[in-house]
Structure formats: structure tokens, C-alpha cells
Amino acid sequence: MSLTGMQLEVTRNAEGIDKAIATLTERFGDRCQTSMSLREQHGHTTSWLPNQPPDAVVFAHSTEEVSEIVKLCAELRVPIIPFGSGSSLEGHLNAPGGGISLDLSQMNEVVAVHPEDLDCVVQPGVTRKQLNAYLRDTGLFFPIDPGADATIGGMTATRASGTNAVLYGTMKDMVLALTVVMPDGTIVKTGSRAKKSSAGYDLTRLMVGSEGTLGVITEITLKLKGIPEAISGGIASFDSIADCCNTVIEAVQYGIPIARIELLDTLTVKSVNAYSKLDLPESPLLLVEFHGSDAGVREQAERFGEIAAENSLKKFEWATDPEERNKLWAARHDAYWAGLGLAPERTGLSTDVCVPISRLADCVTATHDDIEENGLIGPIVGHVGDGNFHVLVLTDLNDPEDIAKSEAFVERLNYRAIEMGGTCTGEHGVGQGKMKYLPKEHGAGVAVMAAVKRSLDPLNIMNPGKIVALDAE
């Protein structure tokens, strides 16, 4: 099995690691753990990439503790891999050179909510479900929803988005400011609670999506949104993926402020029906939702229905009942597990790309054909309002040929998206899995990223071997 093409080597500093563990154990007692089961759980578990466990897991309780740990690791040149809930998909959490997994899940307090400013301040271990439960009585909510109950710290570090992004944006749009422990242990606040600022370089956006390679995020100031007065939505079935995509394109062009619009291809619908015990019509469908006032969502839904009808709509079912709607969205969120259920003996290689919406039908259709022609099993789901879609390539990890076939498909998919003016990842991030596509997408920009990385983390201790690999130069 040769999956390591995507995993770059990072030189292992065994002596420094031993010293760090000794000091951390003395300092943090039970909060520094070295059991193999915990270490493996903190290497990468939700990815098909081989697990590379860290040497120890340390549970931090404050920004100051994080700073202390980072300073120690900087002194000893020991890698630090920040860890939230472990739900990232591209090998972000692997420890190719060993080192310390810095688990932030116990820093899980909502520090402040400012309803009048529509913002809040949270520690990085707060999960999005926890935050929304906390906010329930305020009439506000945090809209970014990547499916998994990820931590806000992890979502910030990976620039997460998900189903709601078409209306509410991604983490880059929802983060106002951060507290970051830099690779030398310095504590930096990247911004204020002001809604906008032009006071210097945008350190907030530099850190959002930096995947723990430029510092450790220890506090996040987030924008919040008012819970919409009315939500309506439904399921629109079509004969073809192209009809689905064209409906989305026209609706977006028309300016309908859709909150969520998800594409499920026929294979996904079948898997979801089986997994979630539903009886959705087994053809490509759009799951759509509108947020607004009563009159607003009615108006949006009517216009959407008209556009769908012009694109050979087969069937449109309203889900006005919140319970029914929640069931549908739960099924959408379970599409990953439903997909795995199509071939339980195989492993899911989850990959995502994003293209300009005008190229969406082309890209999804070409990808669908590619899957069929190559005899792969690969259900497709997509946040199509953004031009972002996912393929879950079911791969037999015991069969080198099958692995090679899946890898070749993923490569074609990524290059196809980039050639269509898109990106090799809309929301999963780079981690280890997408590093090899960055030169094609960013060209000379990769060297700029490396220069930034080198300037802020000259010792290359922050999540080394991810995004840009300084060791490999």
C-alpha cells in the first residue's frame, strides 16, 4: 500500500520530543498523555490517509497555557499540532514528524455574547452545536454548518463553510477577530469587535484557514445572525444533473437569497433513502431552503418554483413542517455515512472542489461520467449555490490497484476544477491531501505562502508538513 505520496517527510527530533514530554508531564500531570490509543485518536482518523500519531497529547486550559507550551516547543524545536474535535478530512491532524497534539477541546467556554452587536466571543473548543444551544434564548444563531459538530477553533483554522454558506458566507466572513498564540509564544489579538476596519494587514483572514501552521487560535470573536422569522424549503427533483445546476445558476443570477441549496445525485439519493429510511424520488434532486420574513420566503419560494419549472422540474415537494424539514436536513448531513453504506467494506475518500457556478453543470457532469467510465463508486453531493461539490470515492484500501484508480480520479477531478477557473478545495482545506494541487492552482503564490510561513514560523514547528512544506524545499 503506497498512500504516502501525499505525506511529506518531516525530520523527527526525537531528543527534543522526549525532553518536551518530560517537562509537559511534570507541568501538566494527567493533562499530558502518551497512551497509544489517545495518540492514534489524535492522529488523523476521519481521513483515508494513514494515521501518523503525535508523541503526546496535551490538554490546554487557557491562552497563557498554550503560550507556555508553544514557548517550550519552540525552545526544543518540537512540532505542535492544534486539535479540536478531529473532524477534518485531509490529514490536517497527522504528525509526520511526531510532536505534541495540543488538544483545545477543554477550552470550551462561551466567553461573552453581545446581542446588540450581533457578536460573541468563544474559546476554540466550543462546538457549533454547543454554541447554538447556548444562544437559543437570544434569538441569534451562528449559521456556519459544516455537517460535523466541529469546534469553532477547528472551523476557523480550516476556513470551514457548509450548507449555509450561500447566504451567510464562510468562516472568513463570520470571524471578526482572533486571539492567536504565535509560533514564538507571543499572544496576538488580530482585530477588534468593530464590524469593519482598514487598520493594517488583515491578520484575521491570514489566520483563518491557516490550519494551525501559523499559530494556535485560542479565542474567536464571531459575528452572529438573527434567527429568521420564517424558514421554508423543499425538494425539487429533476431528470438530469444539468437541469439541477441550471436551476441553481438561474436562481442565483435572479438574486433569490437562497439560504441553502444542496445537490444530491441519484446514487446519493439512493444511499440516503436506504440509510435514513426515506422515500425520496431516485433522480438528481435539489434540497432548498429560504430564510426571511413570512412574505419574503413565500416570494422567494414562488420565484424558485418558476425557475425550476423552466428547467424540466419533475416534482417539487414543500417541507413546511419544521420536523419534516429537520429530518430532510439530517438526512443530508448523514449523506457521508449513507454513502459509506453503499459499500461497507470500502473506505470513503472524501474530496471537494469548487468552480465558478457557470461551470458547475459541466464539472459535475464530467465528474459523473468519469466515475461511470472508470467503474468507481462515488456519490456526489454539493453546496451548489457556491459551485462547491463533494465526491465520496469508495475505495478498497487492501487493493493497491483500486487505490491507484481512486487517486487518479481525485487528481483528474482537482485538475478539472482548477482548469475551469476553480479551486482544489472549497472547504475541506489543504492538510496533507491537497498539497500537491497547490502549485497548479496558485503557481508563484505557493512561494509567497512559504515566505509568510517562514517569516512567522522560522523553526517550522507549527503543524509542519501541511499546506506548504518548508522541509521539502
Q: Which of residues 211-250 bind a second copy (CB under 8 A)?
A: 214, 225-226, 228-229, 249
Q: Please select the residue that binds a second copy; options are 40, 75, 202, 362, rule is CB under 8 A.
A: 202
Q: Please select the residue that binds a second copy; options are 55, 65, 119, 289, rule is CB under 8 A.
A: 119
Contact indicator for 353, 422 with CB cutoff of 8 Å: yes
Q: What does the H/E/C string look like for 69-129?
A: HHHHHHHHCCCEEEECCCCCCCCCCCCCCCCEEEECCCCCCEEEEEHHHCEEEECCCCEHH
22 versus 230: smaller Cβ distance to a second copy: 230
471 is a site residue for a second copy (CB under 8 A): no
Strand order in the sheet with 380-383: 313-318, 230-238, 285-292, 258-264, 380-383, 388-395, 347-354
Q: Could you tell me the smallest distance in angstroms from the CB atom of residue 436 to a second copy? A: 12
User: Which residues in the 380-439 window bind a second copy by CB under 8 A?
Assistant: 386-388, 417-418, 421-430, 434, 437-438
Q: Please select the residue that binds a second copy; options are 5, 200, 344, 375, rule is CB under 8 A.
A: 200
Q: Please select the residue that binds a second copy; options are 199, 321, 323, 375, rule is CB under 8 A.
A: 199
279 is a site residue for a second copy (CB under 8 A): no
Q: Please select the residue that binds a second copy; options are 35, 106, 197, 326, rule is CB under 8 A.
A: 197
**Per-residue contact track with a second copy, 436 to 465, x per CB under 8 A?**
-xx--xxxxxxxxx-xxxxxx---------
Residue 81 Cα to chain centre, angstroms: 17
Question: Residue 410 has which C-alpha cell?
Answer: 481525485
Select from 27-35, 232-240, 292-300, 324-332 the region that touches a second copy (CB under 8 A). 292-300
The widest CA-to-CA distance across the chain, in whole angstroms, is 69
Q: Could you tell me the smallest distance in angstroms from the CB atom of residue 47 to a second copy? A: 15
State the pairing for strand pair 225-226/140-141: antiparallel
Total count of residues recorded for the chain = 473
User: Which residues in the 344-383 window bind a second copy by CB under 8 A?
Assistant: 354-358
Q: Find all residues with CB under 8 Å of 210, minimum gap 6, and list them.
A: 157, 467
92 is a site residue for a second copy (CB under 8 A): no
Select from 6-14, 182-190, 237-245, 396-404 the region that touches a second copy (CB under 8 A). 182-190
Q: Please select the residue that binds a second copy; options are 105, 210, 232, 268, rule is CB under 8 A.
A: 210
Q: Could you tell me the smallest distance in angstroms from the CB atom of residue 413 to a second copy? A: 14
Question: Residue 123 has which C-alpha cell?
Answer: 474559546
User: Which residues in the 139-158 window bind a second copy by CB under 8 A?
Assistant: 158
Select from 37-45, 162-170, 309-317, 325-333 the region that touches a second copy (CB under 8 A). 162-170
Q: Please select the residue that binds a second copy; options are 125, 143, 147, 191, rule is CB under 8 A.
A: 191
Residue 322, class by beta-carbon neighbours within 10 Å (0-12 exposed, 13-18 middle, 19+ buried)?
exposed
Q: Could you tell me the smallest distance in angstroms from the CB atom of residue 106 to a second copy? A: 25
Strand partners, 350: 392
Q: Find all residues with CB under 8 Å of 414, minimum gap 6, and list them.
A: 351, 353, 424, 434, 437, 440
Nearest to 70 by CA among 213, 216, 220: 216
Size of the site for a second copy (CB under 8 A): 93
Cα→Cα distances 243→79, 236, 283, 391, 451, Å: 49, 11, 11, 19, 44
